């Protein structure tokens, strides 16, 4: 029969076990065995989304964050989405099509600075990527933009602020907290990004990016 005091003593022994330590390496050898080192997980911000045009990737997580711009008549700035992604490995055959896809856009380089298996984050608040991401999350029941938009609603047209998928955290019916903390997904974009060039009264060189 196990006595109460025996259980307490056993727990105390387990708690006091020494923590395994990493083998010491002199600073001069720190990079000699880098494959065995623990790695801090994270993504590099890619501010030039042109680099991802035609580049295959999988989206792994989406965050909603407060932006700096506010539409007329609104109390809060529009949210933007931070999209974490991983580019395809080097042996994926989709890499063979990257230059051909990029050649469809005059003025952008055929070569990309993005590498295979690279962890990247991009930000977007446009009628392109953000609208597509919100539609995807709504369709997967990970958020609810409102109580009237069907889950299979696919109309992505309309000026900014005139489409239900321009929703921000403040306007979501469900999922605002999750959107702020980050929503894990697995969305494959075999054609990378697409880009649409335009000019208007505000800019002669406007660009809107879309998931391809």
pLDDT in tens, 16-48: 667 677 677 788 888 887 888 888 989 999 999
- Phi first, then psi, for residue 50 (nearest 5°) are -55, -30
Alpha-carbon distances of 135 from 14, 58, 83, rounded to whole Å = 50, 17, 14
pTM summary value: 0.82
CA distance 45 to 49: 10
Mean pLDDT for 196-209 is: 87
Residue 118 has pLDDT above 70, yes or no: yes
Residue 186 has pLDDT above 90, yes or no: yes
Q: For residue 56, what pLDDT band results from cuts at 50, 70 and 90?
A: very high
CA distance 85 to 187: 9
Largest CA distance in the chain: 85
| H-helix or E-strand spanning residue 84 | strand 79-87
CA distance 144 to 147: 7
- Range 127-149 burial, b when 16+ CB lie within 10 A, else e: bbbbbbbbbbbbbeebbbbeeeb
CA distance 12 to 8: 6
Q: What is the pLDDT of residues 69-105, one digit of tens each?
A: 655 555 455 899 999 999 999 999 999 999 999 999 9
Nearest to 49 by CA among 197, 198, 195: 195
3-state DSSP assignment of residue 131: helix
Q: For residue 1, what pLDDT band results from cuts at 50, 70 and 90?
A: low
Across the chain, mean pLDDT equals: 89
CA distance 175 to 142: 7
3-state DSSP assignment of residue 14: helix
User: Domain coordinates of the chain in residue numbers?
Assistant: 42-211
How, if at all, do strands 206-211 and 193-198 pair?
Answer: antiparallel
Residue 147 has pLDDT above 80, yes or no: yes
């Amino acid at each position: 029969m196990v006595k109460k005091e025996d259980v307490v003593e056993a727990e105390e022994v387990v708690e006091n076990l020494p923590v395994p330590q990493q083998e010491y390496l002199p600073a001069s050898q720190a990079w000699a065995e880098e494959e065995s080192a623990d790695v801090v997980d994270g993504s590099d911000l890619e501010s030039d989304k042109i680099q991802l045009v035609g580049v295959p990737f999988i989206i792994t997580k989406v965050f909603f964050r407060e932006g700096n711009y506010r539409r007329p008549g609104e109390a809060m700035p529009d949210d933007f989405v931070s999209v974490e992604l991983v580019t395809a490995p080097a042996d994926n055959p989709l890499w063979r099509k990257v230059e051909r896809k990029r050649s469809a856009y005059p003025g952008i380089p055929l070569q990309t600075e993005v590498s295979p298996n690279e962890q990247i984050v991009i930000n977007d608040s446009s009628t392109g990527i953000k609208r597509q991401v919100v539609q995807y999350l709504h369709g997967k029941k990970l958020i609810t933009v409102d109580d009237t938009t069907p889950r299979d609603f696919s109309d992505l047209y309309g000026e900014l602020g005139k489409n239900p998928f321009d929703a921000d955290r403040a306007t979501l019916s469900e999922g605002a907290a999750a959107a702020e903390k980050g929503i894990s997904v697995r969305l494959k974009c075999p054609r990378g990004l697409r880009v649409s060039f335009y000019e208007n009264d505000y800019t002669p060189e406007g660009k809107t990016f879309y998931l391809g």
